[in-house]
Structure 1
Amino acid sequence: MAKPDDRSDNEEHLQNHIDHTFVNLREAEDYLNEHADEISDEEKQAIEAKNDRRRESIDYFIAEKKDEARR
C-alpha cells in the first residue's frame, strides 16, 4: 500500500534548502575574496559557475516555496 502524499512540511524543507545553499554561496564568495590571488583562473571560474548555479537554485526554491504556500 502506498503512503499518502504528506506535503505538510514542504515549505520547511524548501527553506532549509534555501538556507543551506545560501551558506554555501557565501562561503564560496568568502573563499574567493580571501584566496583569489592563490588559486588558478580555472578554479575561480569553476567556483563562480557553481555560485551561478546556486543562485539559480535559490530562485527555484523560493518559487517552489511560494507555490507550496498557496496550497
Structure 2
Amino acid sequence: MTYNNKPNPDDRSDNVEKLQAMITNTIENMEAAEESLALTDSETQKQQIQAKNERRRESIDSFRSEIKDEANNQG
C-alpha cells in the first residue's frame, strides 16, 4: 500500500504575530497568577506560583529571541 502524503509547505509569514500573541497570553497568565498569589495563605501554593511565573518569564525571553530570529529571516 502506498501513501501519497506530502508535508504542508512551511509558511512562516505570520510567525511573528503568533509569537507576539503567545507573549501577550503568557503575560496575562502571569498577572492572573500574581493576583491569586496575593489571595493565598499556603506557602506551598505561593512557591508553586512563583516557580511557574519564573518559567513563564523564561518562555517570554525565548519567544522574544524567536521573534528576533524571524525578523532577521524575513528582512
**Same fold by TM-score, threshold 0.5 exceeded?**
yes
Instruction: Look up the equivalent residue of 2:58 and give its one-letter code.
Output: E
4, 7, 15: which one pairs with 2:9?
A: 4
> For the pair shown, which has the larger CA radius of gyration, 1 or 2?
2
- Please list every run of at least 4 consecutive aligned residues from structure 1 whose deviation after the TM superposition is greater than 3 angstroms: none
**Which of 20, 42, 45 lines up with 1:43 in the alignment?**
45
Instruction: Please name the residue that 1:64 is paired with.
Output: 66
- Structure 1 CA distance, aligned partners of 2:10 and 2:44? 44
Structure 1: 5+ residue runs without aligned partners? none
Q: Which structure ranks higher in relative contact order (CA pairs < 8 Å, sequence separation ≥ 6)?
A: 1
Match of 1:19 among 18, 24, 46: 24
Q: What is the aligned residue count?
A: 68
CA distance in 2, matches of 1:44, 1:32: 6
Structure 1 CA distance, aligned partners of 2:33 and 2:70? 29
Identity %: 53
Q: Distance in 1 between matches of 2:7 and 2:70?
A: 22
* DSSP-derived class of the 2:11 partner: coil
Structure 2: segments with no counterpart, 5+ residues: 1-5
TM-score normalised according to structure 2 size: 0.84
TM-score by length of structure 1 reads: 0.89
Compute the displacement of 1:42 (Å).
0.5
